[in-house]
Amino acid sequence: MSKIVFIGAGAMAEAIINGLTKEEKVLPAQIHVTNKSDIDQLEHLKQTYNVQIVCEEKKAITEANIIVLAMKPKDAIDAFGEIASYLNEGAMIISVIAGVSIQTISTHLGTRPIARVMPNTSAAVGLSASAVSWNDLVSEKSKLEVIDILEAIGSVKVVDEEDLHVVTALAGSGPAYLYYFAEQFEAAAVQHGLTSADARQLFIQTMEGAAQMLKKGDVEPSELRRKVTSPGGTTEAGVEQLIHHKVDEAIFACIDAAQNKSRVLGKQYE
């Protein structure tokens, strides 16, 4: 199995490491991590997942078969400059950086196999909805290896690179929208007398049940909704408010803004 080095040790890197080590597809001894300056976070990852910290001399980077780029887009160009001369010729890049294109990575890190991935933080519980796109230099064997890694943290779809912008808007950022709904539904239920704990548990179970029903795939979402909505009943009253407050427009605007931001970030740091 490959030696993997994470450049960047924040929320996304930790979620992937958490998922990977839980699945035991990659041994902690094969995973190395580095960041810019937060030693405490590196220590936390070492203590929690038993992974290795990249030392000053960067030997681990030179020996790595897979380099995972997990820094913010604004830090990418500096980070590329810091690692470029240490990469070995055959090393494959897996980038989770939002927006930044394979072409940009190639310009800074050389012509090499590059997979651009959009995971989400549910990787920490093995439920990331990931998508991947790659350049022609990624061999069939390496593609299978990338898919294997991504399947260890959830589901994976292979998409055109252009589609990663909307994937980012929908699935990369997606958990945050659902957490926002969780916050708001919980607050609303508390206002009407439930405890936070009860409201949260009921909402989580409701999301989980609805997700399972959708996942069965035999009934369209609109039909599932119809089955809940008794004429003249409570759901109808609730949904009328969602329509009245233009929640549909808010959702279209949300996805449009997020996918557009992905494009802007890509251009800004190319």
Ligand X SMILES: NC(=O)C1=CN([C@@H]2O[C@H](COP(=O)(O)OP(=O)(O)OC[C@H]3O[C@@H](n4cnc5c(N)ncnc54)[C@H](OP(=O)(O)O)[C@@H]3O)[C@@H](O)[C@H]2O)C=CC1
Four-CA torsion 120, 87, 102, 39, nearest 10 degrees: 30
Query: Is there a binding annotation on residue 94?
Result: no
Q: How far apart are CA 228 and CA 230, in angstroms?
A: 6
Query: Is there a binding annotation on residue 217?
Result: no
Q: Which is nearer to ligand A1CAB, 44 or 74 (CB)?
A: 74
Tell how many helices (H) and how many strands (E) occur in the chain.
12, 8
| Residue with token string 């990338």 | 146
Query: Is there a binding annotation on residue 10?
Result: yes
Four-CA torsion 118, 122, 127, 133, nearest 10 degrees: 0
Cα separations in angstroms, 82 against 151, 185, 260:
30, 45, 29
In the bound complex, what is the minimum distance in angstroms from residue 253's beta carbon to ligand X?
20
Contacts of 10 (CB under 8 A, 6+ apart): 35, 41, 70, 71, 72
In the bound complex, what is the minimum distance in angstroms from residue 112's beta carbon to ligand X?
18
Binding test (CB under 6 A) with ligand X, winner from 43, 78, 183, 248: 78
Quick one: which H or E segment has residue 181?
helix 174-191
Which of these segments, 28-36, 167-175, 180-188, 211-219, binds ligand A1CAB (CB under 6 A)?
Answer: 167-175
Q: How many residues bind ligand X (CB under 6 A)?
A: 29
**Residue 119 makes contact with ligand A1CAB by CB under 6 A:** no
In the bound complex, what is the minimum distance in angstroms from residue 153's beta carbon to ligand A1CAB?
15
Residue 170 interacts with, from ligand X, ligand A1CAB, none (CB under 5-8 Å by kind) = none
**Residue 172 makes contact with ligand A1CAB by CB under 6 A:** yes
What separation, in Å, do the N-terminal and C-terminal C-alpha atoms of the chain show? 32
Which pair of structure tokens corresponds to residue 16?
């992937």
**Residue 259 makes contact with ligand A1CAB by CB under 6 A:** no
Residues that bind ligand A1CAB (CB under 6 A): 98, 168, 172-173
Residues that bind ligand X (CB under 6 A): 7-13, 34-38, 41, 70-73, 75, 78-79, 82, 96-98, 118-121, 172
Residues comprising the binding site for NADP(+)?
7-12, 70-73
